[in-house]
Amino acid sequence: MVRDVTGLVLDPYFSGSKVEWLLANRPIPIDADLAVGTIDTWLLWNLTGGEVHATDPTNASRTMLFDIRSLQWSAPLCELFGVPMHALPTVLPSSGRMGLTSAACGVPAGIPISGIAGDQQAALFGQACVAPGMAKNTYGTGSFVLLNVGSECPPPAAGMLTTVAYQLADGTVAYALEGAIFVTGAAVQWLRDGLGVISSAAEIGPLAASVTDNGGVYVVPAFAGLGSPWWDPYARGTIVGITRGTTKAHLARAVVEAMTYQTRDAMEAMAQAAGVTISDLRVDGGASVMDVMLQMQADQLGVTVRRPADQETTALGAAYLAGLAEGVWPSLDAVGAEWATEAVFEPEPDRTIADLLHAGWQRAVERSRDWITH
């Protein structure tokens, strides 16, 4: 039921079970003064001097209490988790005036607050992925791949989260599939801090590019299990294919390649689940500065990879939502026209090598899976 209503997996990462635990284990009176919300709710409450207790569908959809089809709090789920519905915030569109700042919050009074979105959904909007088939990937410590799947909420997909991408003031709603990849940039940190292969993260790109291939080496960075599309908490990190000729450059290249293979796995599963053809991939995050990695990514996906001129896409997405509500931009098309490319990476037309490399990766993944006995 939780999976179908919320688009989430039943996991303590989300807010519902946290609220249940707080109410069961702390002396919190369940009365009319109780207010429950996410960080954006708390910020909005304080910015408006306590006048507005609200959130938007993107943040509400992360609570495990929200029906992503009706865009309302789910009474059955609130009952299941013992969360009083009167304590939950009003759900307002992601783009639309929510309130005005209060002088009590330390900024001038009367500033409109008109854009709210969760981190990854804001990044999707900041990348101007406003049409079905448009996708973004944020390469951070881990990676988060979001695919715009349009106005119809798709059924739950194995290994993926379904989420509200945004809701506009006129009622327009877009949904997204999200793939969570646990370790990408963290593997670079491991090479630096755990193994001493590099002394700074900036060395990884040139070192990986110093060899023409991976020398048959694959690194599966399942340090905390595998995320989308595998969702295998019992997997563990694996290095396969080492020979006497393996160098630290091959290891570095294998770590960089692993970022692209994991993204391909997640995106192919998303596209199949949603029945959507991916048009291109827009990228941001720390590792997206690596040209060599983004070229590998284009080759693996067989689609164009675009790096934007402005990579602060989360903040930009919130600004676009607010500006759209206040008439700074008149339409989604106008927002899309603001987006500018800094670099474009076109895929190699012949996919033979990319597919062979990916097949090797899949063999390596199988050796890492279900490693911890349970």
**Same fold for the domain at 2-115 and the one at 119-374?**
yes
What Rg value do the Cα atoms of the chain yield, rounded? 22
The pLDDT score that the predictor gives to residue 257 is 97
Question: How far, in Å, CA of 365 to CA of 226, rounded?
Answer: 9
Which residues pair with residue 100 across a beta bridge? 112
pLDDT in tens, 308-335: 999 889 999 999 999 999 999 999 999 9
Q: How confident is the model at residue 374 (pLDDT cuts 50, 70, 90)?
A: low
Question: How far, in Å, CA of 208 to CA of 361, rounded?
Answer: 17
Which residues pair with residue 232 across a beta bridge? 226
The pLDDT score that the predictor gives to residue 61 is 96
Average pLDDT rounded to a whole number, residues 245-266: 96
> Which range has highest mean pLDDT (151-160, 228-237, 339-348)?
339-348
User: Taking a C-beta distance cutoff of 8 angstroms, is the pair 176, 264 a contact?
Assistant: no
Q: How confident is the model at residue 29 (pLDDT cuts 50, 70, 90)?
A: confident
**Mean pLDDT lowest for which of 25-34, 82-91, 110-119, 212-221?**
25-34
Cβ neighbours of 4 (radius 10 Å): 12
CATH superfamily of this structure's domain 2-115: ATPase, nucleotide binding domain (3.30.420.40)
The pLDDT score that the predictor gives to residue 341 is 94
Q: How confident is the model at residue 28 (pLDDT cuts 50, 70, 90)?
A: confident
Q: How confident is the model at residue 307 (pLDDT cuts 50, 70, 90)?
A: very high
**Cα–chain center distance at 46:** 27
Cβ burial of 189 (10 Å; 0-12, 13-18, 19+) is middle
The DSSP letter of residue 302 is T
The pLDDT score that the predictor gives to residue 373 is 80
DSSP 56-123: -HHHHTTTT-EETTTTEE-HHHHHHHT--GGGSPEE--SEEEEEE--GGGTS-TT-EEEE---HHHHH
The DSSP letter of residue 127 is T
The pLDDT score that the predictor gives to residue 98 is 97
C-alpha distances (whole Å) from 10 to each of 2, 55, 146, 345 are 7, 22, 20, 38
The pLDDT score that the predictor gives to residue 369 is 95
**Mean pLDDT lowest for which of 32-36, 39-43, 336-340, 349-353?**
32-36
- Sequence-distant (6+) residues with CB within 8 A of 11 are none
Question: Domain ranges in the chain?
Answer: 2-115, 119-374
Quickly name the fold that domain 119-374 has.
Nucleotidyltransferase; domain 5 (3.30.420)
